[in-house]
A and B are shown apart, each in its own frame.
Chain A
Amino acid sequence: MDPERQSSNGPNASPSTIDAAFLALRDRTRRFVVYFLLEHETASLSEVADVVTGWLHTPDCGVIEPRCRNTQYLNLLHTQIPNLVEAGVVRHDEDDGTLSLAPCPAPVREFATRACAAETGT
Chain B
Amino acid sequence: MTLSDYIDRIESASRTITVYAPAPRPALVDRLRRETGVRSVDYRSLPEMTAASRAFLVVHEGGEFVAAIGLDAVREFLEPPIYDPWAEELDEVPYRHVIDVFESTVWHTLDRRQLLAASREIENRAWQVGSGTLRVGFQRSGALEAMAPVYDRLAAETALDIHVYIDDDWARPSIPGVTIHADAGAEIGSVWVLVFDGDGDELWSGGLLAKEHDGGGFEGVWVDESRLVALLDRSLQQSV
Residues of A within 8 A of B (CB): 35-36, 38-40, 50-51, 53-55, 57-59, 62-66, 69-70, 113, 116-117, 120-122
Chain A neighbourhood of B49, CB < 8 A: 116-117, 120-121
Chain B neighbourhood of A69, CB < 8 A: 65, 68
Interface of A is mostly: helix
Chain B neighbourhood of A39, CB < 8 A: 45-47
Question: Any chain A CB within 8 A of the CB of B101?
Answer: yes
Chain A neighbourhood of B44, CB < 8 A: 40, 51
Instruction: With a 10 A CB-CB cut-off, give which of B49, B69, B94 has the most chain A CB atoms.
Output: B49
Q: A39-B45, A55-B20 are in contact. List 18 more A-B contacts (CB 8 A).
A: A38-B47, A50-B65, A51-B20, A55-B50, A58-B54, A58-B56, A59-B54, A62-B69, A63-B68, A63-B97, A66-B66, A69-B65, A70-B65, A113-B47, A116-B49, A117-B49, A120-B47, A120-B51
A-facing mask of B108-127, CB < 8 A → 1, else 0?
Answer: 00000000000000000000
User: What total of chain B residues lie within 8 Å of the partner, measured CB to CB?
Assistant: 26
A58 and B69 within 8 A (CB): yes
Question: Any chain A CB within 8 A of the CB of B150?
Answer: no
Question: Any chain A CB within 8 A of the CB of B67?
Answer: yes
B56 and A54 within 8 A (CB): yes
A66 and B56 within 8 A (CB): no
A55/B56 contact (C-beta < 8 A), A63-B67, A63-B101, A66-B67 known: yes
Question: Any chain A CB within 8 A of the CB of B177?
Answer: no
B68 and A50 within 8 A (CB): yes
